[in-house]
Amino acid sequence: MKNINLLLIFIAVILSNCSNAPKSNYEITGKQSQIIVSIIDAVNEKNAEKYVIGFADSVKVFVESEMKVNGREEMKANRANHFKNHPNVRSQIQHLVEIDDKVILHDKVWLDQSDKTGQNIVEIFTFENGEVVRVDVIQPNDLFKR
């Protein structure tokens, strides 16, 4: 009986350390980081209106130094279209670092359920007066060609 109890305790310890929940590699250190977390929440909710709340009216988004989005309204339309084209998109923060007026985000994105590994994306958000004014995106060249 003693061996069975020890075995049950051992199994309970092993199972308590096994979790599908992602391990957090980031801290929310300031208001800017909270805005980024809200953006990721909006992706997972497929909510374009919520997505743009922390952005300045004049925000610019660059991918590989090419401007892709100019302004909050264009961004909202872009995100609404993205959520329509990728209804199963989800994002998970891997790392989040806040330095002065910048927040650097490494997130993993899954465009659909067939993608088992996700794609790594790095974004550098530049803030002015508490709003995102610029986003520089580094992503796989073939992200949307899969």
Would 21 be classed as within a structural domain?
A: no
- Report the number of distinct structural domains present in the chain: 1
Q: Contact at 8 Å (CB) between 104 and 97?
A: yes
pLDDT digits 0-9 by tens, 53-67: 999 999 999 998 999
pLDDT at residue number 38: 96
pLDDT of 27: 60
Residue 2 counted as domain residue: no
Nearest to 37 by CA among 78, 89, 98: 98
pLDDT value of residue 49: 97
Instruction: Tell me if 76 is assigned to some domain.
Output: yes
Domain span at residue 106 reads 27-145
> What is the tens place of the pLDDT at every residue in 90-143?
999 999 999 999 999 999 999 988 888 999 999 999 999 999 999 999 998 877
Residue 115 falls inside a structural domain: yes
Q: 24 pLDDT band (50/70/90 cuts)?
A: low
**Taking the model in full, what pTM does it have?**
0.79
The structure tokens listed for 41 are 């929440």
